[in-house]
Amino acid sequence: MSSSKKQKVEDKLINDRFFRERSNKNRGIVELLIAEYSELENIDKHLLITICKKFTSMDRDWRWLTEHYKEYRGSDYGDKKVLEQEKQIELEYTPGHYKDLKQSKLL
C-alpha cells in the first residue's frame, strides 16, 4: 500500500534535514515527485524546480485574485468548504476538528 502524500512529505522532513529549509522545499518536492513519477527522471531537475516555484507563485496569485475580486470566481468558488469537508470525511478526518480543539481550550 502506498503512503499518503502527507506521509511522504513528513517522512522526507524527518529523514532530510535540508528539506526542512524553505529554500530547499521545492527541490525536496521535486524529488518526491520524481520518485513517484519515473517519467520525470528524464527532465532536468533544475527545470522541474523552476516550474514548481512558478506554479506555487501563480497559484498564490490566483488564490489572492479570486479572493479579492468576485468577478474572477468560477461557479464552484463557494463549494470549497463542502468539498473540503467531503474530502476530510473520505480521509476519515472530522470536519471542524481544529475549531472544536480551539473551543475546548477556551473551556
Where do the domains of the chain lie?
1-73, 74-107
Name the residue among 49, 51, 55, 60 with its Cα closest to residue 23. 49
pTM surpassing 0.75?
no
Of 2-6, 15-19, 47-51, minimum mean pLDDT range: 2-6
Q: What is the pLDDT of residue 73?
A: 86
Q: What is the mean pLDDT of residues 26-48?
A: 95
* pLDDT-derived band at 91, boundaries 50, 70, 90: confident
Q: What is the pLDDT of residue 1?
A: 38
Q: Can you tell me the distance from the alpha carbon of 67 to that of 83, in angstroms, rounded to the nearest whole number?
A: 17
Query: Is pLDDT larger for residue 89 or for residue 17?
Result: 17
